[in-house]
Amino acid sequence: MASWRDNIRQVEPYVPGEQPKNTNVIKLNTNENPYGPSPRVKAVQDNEDLLRLYPDPTAGALVDALAEYHGVDASQVFVGVGSDDVLAMSFLTFFNSDKPILFPDITYSFYDVWAELFRIPYKQMPLDENFRLKIDDYKGENGGIVFPNPNAPTGIYESLDHVEEIIKNNPDVIVIVDEAYIDFGGETALPLIDKYDNLVVVRTFSKSRSMAGLRIGYAISNPELIKALNDVKYSYNSYTMNRPSLVLGVESIHDDAYFREKVGQIIATRERFVKEIAELGFTCLPSSANFVFATHESIPAKEIFAAAKENNIYVRYFDKPRIDNYLRISIGTDAEMDVFVSFLSKYVKEYK
Ligand SMILES: *Cc1c(COP(=O)(O)O)cnc(C)c1O
């Protein structure tokens, strides 16, 4: 074997949820938003400049819109190509200690992939038997901390007091709170930015703003940490965000009424769905997200997953320790959830 193989970076990549080619499916497997973005986003005309010119490398218009929306200074906002890009940049920028970074054992499954890719030592801290963070696990020596709140794929939200305790107990490392789902429940950690200089809050347009296809994510922190992120970004690729995303992202921010209405609708559908499947023998972890994590009292999750797929209903199943009897079900429209509930009802009744 030629020895150049020894110099190839070996990584086991993150496996995203399936994007089926068949459009005739009910797609509840990747936490997309069923309603589509604001009409203002769709009304933007494609013109020559939108596609012909390089984008503004500082993403100024979007940074300004986000700063105004969140009541922070533009120097406190970093934008990237989805929060995956923002998180990857953050790992690269902030996690350079010899001590392991910490994150939960059951969490967003990209964290360990980035840690492996960037050769960052890491330790996965087991959630307790109710899938809650054990705050004391995050008080020892470490090289940094990252966790989603609400967590994925459990949907469980940890109170701001708990989040603050983690930040407060780790003044010498950066704590990243991944708020991909915060719009669907819970209190944001953003106000803590003024109180602690080691906090980075990461958000995305993919879920609550229904713009997963445009790839927009951002971080909010203090100017020093945001500058550090930008220095890394400009050392790698100046034009990370494309021009249409910058323009359409601003339009989304400027339509708060639509945003709130659709988020409210998804929450209402979630609550109704949880009650309906409870009657079929399912238990859901308490969800503050646009998905639920559900398990059935007698039927293995893996079988339900396969049967649903046969019927063109896609949900997510993780064949991993502790969660291999759960399904992660994204909340779709009421009509989509009705179809799923009637499928489940029939399936559970006829199951042998
Ligand atoms: C979906 C998700 C992301 C990534 O979202 P992008 O589409 O890359 O913005 C990051 N963190 C968590 C916890 C997620 O669920």
**Residue 178 CA to ligand 1 centre (angstroms):** 8
Decide if 46 is inside a domain. Answer: no
Residue where a domain stops, chosen among 220, 255, 290: 255
**Residue 7 CA to ligand 1 centre (angstroms):** 31
pLDDT value at position 238? 86
- Per-residue pLDDT of 85-113, as tens digits, reads 999 999 999 999 999 999 999 999 999 99
Residue where a domain stops, chosen among 238, 255, 272: 255
Give the position of tokens 């939108």: 50
Any idea what the CATH number is for the domain that residue 270 is in?
Answer: 3.90.1150.10
* DSSP result, 213-238: GG--EEEE--HHHHHHHHHHHHTT-S
Same domain (yes/no): 169, 193: yes
pLDDT value at position 16? 87
Atom of ligand 1 nearest to the CA of 212: 7
For residue 63, CA distances in Å to 69, 76, 151, 217, 238 come to 10, 9, 26, 11, 15
For residue 21, CA distances in Å to 18, 25, 83, 312 come to 9, 9, 25, 12
Any idea what the CATH number is for the domain that residue 156 is in?
Answer: 3.40.640.10
Same domain (yes/no): 212, 290: no
Average pLDDT in the 295-306 region? 98
Same domain (yes/no): 116, 186: yes
Question: β-strand 291-296 against 282-284: which pairing, if any?
Answer: antiparallel
Q: Which of 109, 179, 204, 252 best tests ligand 1's pocket when mutated (most atoms within 8 Å of CB)?
A: 204
Decide if 47 is inside a domain. Answer: no
Decide if 240 is inside a domain. Answer: yes
| Start-end of H helices in 37-190 | 39-43, 48-52, 60-70, 82-94, 111-117, 160-168
Same domain (yes/no): 239, 119: yes
Same domain (yes/no): 186, 309: no
What domain range is 304 assigned to? 3-35+257-350
Decide if 42 is inside a domain. Answer: no
Q: What are phi and psi of 347, to 5 degrees?
A: -65, -45
Decide if 49 is inside a domain. Answer: no
Same domain (yes/no): 245, 270: no
- Per-residue pLDDT of 121-172, as tens digits, reads 999 999 999 999 999 999 999 999 999 999 999 999 999 999 999 999 999 9
**Residue 324 CA to ligand 1 centre (angstroms):** 21
pLDDT value at position 54? 92
Same domain (yes/no): 291, 250: no
pLDDT value at position 147? 98
Under 8 Å between Cβ of 174 and 198: yes
Atom of ligand 1 nearest to the CA of 83: 9
pLDDT value at position 160? 98
Average pLDDT in the 273-298 region? 98
Smallest Cα–Cα separation from 145: which of 159, 129, 134? 134
pLDDT value at position 23? 83
Q: Which of 14, 32, 84 best tests ligand 1's pocket when mutated (most atoms within 8 Å of CB)?
A: 84
Same domain (yes/no): 178, 323: no
Q: Is residue 178 in contact with ligand 1, taking CB distance under 6 Å? A: yes
pLDDT classification of 338: cutoffs 50, 70, 90: very high
Q: Is residue 212 in contact with ligand 1, taking CB distance under 6 Å? A: yes
d(CA 75, CA 60): 10
Average pLDDT in the 66-84 region? 98
- Per-residue pLDDT of 218-250, as tens digits, reads 999 999 999 999 999 999 988 889 999 999 999
Q: Is residue 180 in contact with ligand 1, taking CB distance under 6 Å? A: yes
Same domain (yes/no): 288, 264: yes
Average pLDDT in the 67-89 region? 98
Q: Which two tokens mark 188?
A: 């944001």
Q: Is residue 152 in contact with ligand 1, taking CB distance under 6 Å? A: yes
pLDDT value at position 22? 84
**Residue 100 CA to ligand 1 centre (angstroms):** 23
Residue where a domain stops, chosen among 227, 255, 283: 255
Give the position of tokens 């790698």: 236
Rg of the chain over Cα atoms, rounded to whole angstroms, equals: 21
Q: Is residue 230 in contact with ligand 1, taking CB distance under 6 Å? A: no
pLDDT at residue 214 tops 80:
yes
Same domain (yes/no): 330, 193: no
- Work out how many domains the chain is built from and give that number: 2
pLDDT value at position 279? 97
Same domain (yes/no): 270, 233: no
Decide if 94 is inside a domain. Answer: yes
pLDDT value at position 239? 86
In this prediction, what percent of the chain has a pLDDT beyond 90? 92
Decide if 287 is inside a domain. Answer: yes
d(CA 233, CA 210): 25
**Residue 346 CA to ligand 1 centre (angstroms):** 33
Same domain (yes/no): 205, 270: no
pLDDT value at position 46? 81
Decide if 111 is inside a domain. Answer: yes
For residue 37, CA distances in Å to 9, 33, 249, 250 come to 38, 9, 10, 12
